[in-house]
Amino acid sequence: MQVGPLPASIPALALESAERFGDASAIEDGAARISYRELGALTMRAARACLAAGVGPGDAVGVWAPNRWEWIAAALGIQAAGGVLVTVNTRFKGSEAAYVLAKSRARLLFTMADFLDTNYVAAIREHDLPDLGRIVAFDAATDGAETWDAFLAGGDAVSEDEARTRIATVGPDDLSDVIFTSGTTGHPKGVMTAHGQNLRAFATWCDVIGLRAGDRYLVVNPFFHSFGYKAGWMACFLRGATVLPHAVFDVPAIFQRVLHDGVSVLPGTPAVFQSFLAHPDLASHDITNLRLATIGGGAIPVELIRRMHDELGFETVLSAYGLTESCGIVSMCVRGDDAETIAATSGRAIPDVEVRCVDSDGKEVPRGEAGEVVVRGYNVMRGYFDDPEETAKTIDADGWLHTGDVAEMDARGYLRITDRIKDMFIIGGLNCYPAEIEKQMYDSGLFAQVAVIGVPDERMGEVGMAWVVPAPDQVVTPEGVVAWCRANMANYKVPRSVQVVDALPMNASGKVQKFLLRERATALQSEA
């Protein structure tokens, strides 16, 4: 547990952890071995470099890169300078990343010259971003960007005293990050949260799951998401665990890391653990180091929880529920809950946070009846960046965050998520918003109408299905639609199947009746 009060900010946490945990291992990433003491020095060096680059209080700075130690160092440097970390999804195409950077008015970007055969620097340089002054590439020298080492060297012009003074001015109520989450309006929305609320939420999270000093935490979940960032490396720094960044999900590689890196903590989505259990070489790998898992981001079969205990060897498996707008956490199961509770529910509200299920008038429904989940407490976001209208739609006058998720709450206060008011579906733990995908497809000029729904998938939980009406004089095929989507949007958003039709079912108001499309999709799947 945390000893004494929480630090004022996330970079202050890194400096405090350097004192508390000393020579214990903080980050291990390939050849990089960074102790907690060295983490403190790295935070100072990154802070001085960010100050030298002109990052000041409230300035937005983007990070568009996979999980690696430099991502953490850059984030700490940004926040230490008083800046606001803007995370960018590594699956984004250049135009999608450019929207996030333009909307947030990011002044500086940390990214990659080459990741999965993509030059992120070149992809972003194709777009007009007048606020973006500098790009830093973590991995290699490339046209249009300076190297990470050169960026750090620039910090020599700033004294350590100046950096410490700046860090001391960053308080719990200052913004720590803006994380863009796809929106029902078709455009991503930037969720603003502050240092103090994030530290408080995940200190609680650490207590509930039992994360402890000496744990070795393989962070497979991407750092651009709350799960990999706040419940990942930040949580490790709260407790003195070791961060083991993992850039690309690959079951055999993860098996090897569990064995060779002594992994004890491995959170993930149901799809992650189902992939482990389905792997033909599972029995030949020694994964007895595994101790703790949190699971969420999709439907969880009871049998999966049992098999995670019996076959993967986890002592503790817990489920949780949260959203970016709640710092990533709302409710959690606790140690001692049975497999049925862990699989069927998302636990109960974390301490000092209120959760209700309400009807369309905002009245709390009786226990056992379905209603929209609303949340009130210190974990609720400060709002959507530069979007007061959407903020007002989401957080009511009494401070309740309306999640758009439907759940039943039992007599114990445990939530069972049953549906989503919004059309969002979850593919392998990643949220997909049909309105955003539909807008991108409409903009192609190929379609007169588009409707995207989520359909069940055994491995991924849900995948997208698109129903399209071709625009006049356009000839489209399912294969061609998928190919266009793959070229123009993040892979997880790409519909896995396409139905080309003459018309979509509409109601009297002219809205697509997606429930009829879901019924047709069910019929098609049963015929397959």
CATH of the domain at 459: 3.30.300.30
Question: Looking at the domain assignment, is residue 494 inside a domain?
Answer: yes
Q: Are residues 408 and 473 in the same domain?
A: no
The 10 Å CB-count burial string (b at 16+, else e) for 385-395 is bebeebbeebb
CATH number, domain with residue 115: 3.40.50.980
pLDDT of res. 430: 84
Boundary of a domain, candidates 128, 161, 181: 181
Q: What is the pTM of this model?
A: 0.86
Three-state secondary structure of 372-439: EEEEEECCCCCEECCCHHHHHHHECCCCCEEEEEEEEECCCCCEEEEEECCCCEEECCEEECHHHHHH
Are residues 384 and 413 both part of a single domain? Answer: yes
Per-residue confidence (pLDDT) for residue 270, from 0 to 100: 78
State the DSSP H helix or E strand holding residue 42, giving kind and residue range, or none if neither.
helix 36-52
Does residue 431 share a domain with residue 391?
no
Of 147, 181, 215, the residue at which a domain comes to its end is 181
Give every residue of the chain whose pLDDT is below 50, as ranges: 184, 508-509
pLDDT of residue 2: 61
Quick one: 273 and 413 in the same domain? yes
Output the pLDDT for position 507: 61
CA atoms within 13 A on the CB side of 469: 11
Q: Would 105 be classed as within a structural domain?
A: yes
- 311 and 388: one domain? yes
Q: Residues for the chain: how many in total?
A: 528
Helices (H), 411-513: 434-442, 478-488
Instruction: Give the strands of the sheet with 461-470, arranged side by side.
Output: 447-457, 461-470, 497-500
| Same domain, residue pair 172 and 47 | yes
Contact 461, 270 (CB under 8 A): yes
Q: For the chain, what is the radius of gyration of the CA atoms?
A: 23
Q: Are 35 and 222 in contact (CB under 8 A)?
A: no
Among 181, 210, 228, identify where a domain stops. Answer: 181
Q: Measure the CA–CA gap between 136 and 94, rounded to whole angstroms.
A: 16
The answer to whether residues 381 and 402 belong to one domain is yes
128 and 82 in a common domain: yes
End-to-end Cα, the chain, rounded Å: 52
Bridge partner residues of 370 (DSSP):
408
* Closest residue by Cα to residue 309 from 330, 287, 331: 287
User: Do both 158 and 54 map to the same domain?
Assistant: yes
Is-contact 120 64, C-beta < 8 A?
yes
Closest CA to 369 of 353, 356, 386: 356
Q: Are 369 and 448 members of one domain?
A: no
Half-sphere exposure of 240 (CA within 13 A, CB side): 16
The two structure tokens encoding residue 377: 């407490």
Residues 436 and 396 in one domain: no
Taking Cα atoms as reference points, which of 94, 82, 90 lies closest to residue 63? 90
**Domain of residue 399, CATH code:** 3.40.50.12780
Sequence-ordered list of residues with C-beta below 8 angstroms from that of 174, at least 6 positions apart, any chain: 9, 57, 82, 194, 195
Residues 263 and 293 reside in one and the same domain: yes
**Domain of 388, in residue numbers:** 249-420
Structural domains in the chain (count): 3
Compute the distance between CA of residue 487 and CA of residue 497 in angstroms, rounded to an integer: 16
Alpha-carbon span 64 to 86, nearest angstrom: 9
**251-260 and 270-278 helices, crossing angle to 10°:** 90
pLDDT computed for residue 285 by the predictor? 82
Q: What is the pLDDT of residue 458?
A: 83
